[in-house]
């Protein structure tokens, strides 16, 4: 992608089970460093529940166009030049809502005329997470990071990395000064 920073569009996909949780707080700190000309959209997966994903690719081969809550999600996903998935580490991986959102990508790739896969190629994929384990070796978040990195690779996206913070109870992220320092330069 050859776009300038001012022409970039960030879609923040918040996949927390708790509103205004530690992960969203860290994501907002990173987003605050973007220049005013950078467009941002914030979508909370808890507010846009998707229907169960049904794998019909071997039976039908194609999927119907997205409807309901999937419409704003697919629109924001395709609109963005930079897609940020902000998911806490839940049981060593993405939250259920984040994984469910990615499952729907499988269907969106098979919607005639949507060209989802081709339109995702070249976009930047970022991750932001907070784990309750303060072990600095990142082993706890490795499965989450691997899922997003492999997703980017599969779709020809640019994997731009993970902003990792530590906090357990609501508001604990405020005590992770190092994470907020990393947030200041994360999108550079």
Domain locations in the chain as residue ranges: 5-185
Collapsing DSSP to helix, strand or coil, 135 comes out as: coil
Q: What is the pLDDT of residue 63?
A: 95
Return the sign of the alpha-carbon dihedral for residues 76, 81, 82, 85. Answer: positive
Q: What is the pLDDT of residue 61?
A: 82
Q: In what order do the strands lie in the sheet with 39-44?
A: 39-44, 9-14, 82-86, 124-131, 158-166
Q: What is the pLDDT of residues 150-182, one digit of tens each?
A: 999 999 999 999 999 999 899 999 999 999 999
Q: Is 5-185 assigned to CATH 3.40.50.360? A: yes
Q: What is the pLDDT of residues 120-156, one digit of tens each?
A: 999 999 999 999 876 655 788 999 999 999 999 999 9
The confidence band for 88, taking pLDDT boundaries of 50, 70 and 90, is very high
């Amino acid at each position: 992608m050859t776009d300038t920073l001012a022409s970039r569009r960030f879609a923040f996909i918040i996949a927390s089970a708790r509103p205004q949780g530690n992960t969203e707080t860290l994501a907002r700190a990173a987003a605050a460093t973007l220049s005013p000309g950078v467009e941002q959209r914030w979508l909370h997966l808890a507010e846009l529940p998707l229907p169960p994903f049904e794998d019909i690719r071997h039976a039908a081969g194609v999927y119907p166009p997205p409807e309901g809550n999937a419409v704003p999600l697919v629109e924001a996903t395709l609109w963005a030049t930079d897609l940020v998935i902000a998911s806490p580490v839940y049981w060593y991986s993405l939250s259920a809502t984040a994984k469910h959102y990615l499952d729907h990508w499988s269907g969106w790739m098979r919607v005639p005329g949507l060209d989802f896969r081709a339109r995702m190629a070249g976009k930047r994929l970022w991750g932001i997470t907070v784990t309750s384990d303060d072990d600095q070796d990142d082993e706890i978040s490795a499965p989450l990071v691997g899922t997003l990195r492999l997703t980017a690779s599969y779709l020809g996206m640019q994997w731009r990395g993970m902003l990792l913070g530590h906090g357990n109870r609501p508001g604990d992220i405020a005590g992770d000064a190092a994470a907020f320092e990393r947030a200041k330069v994360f999108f550079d």
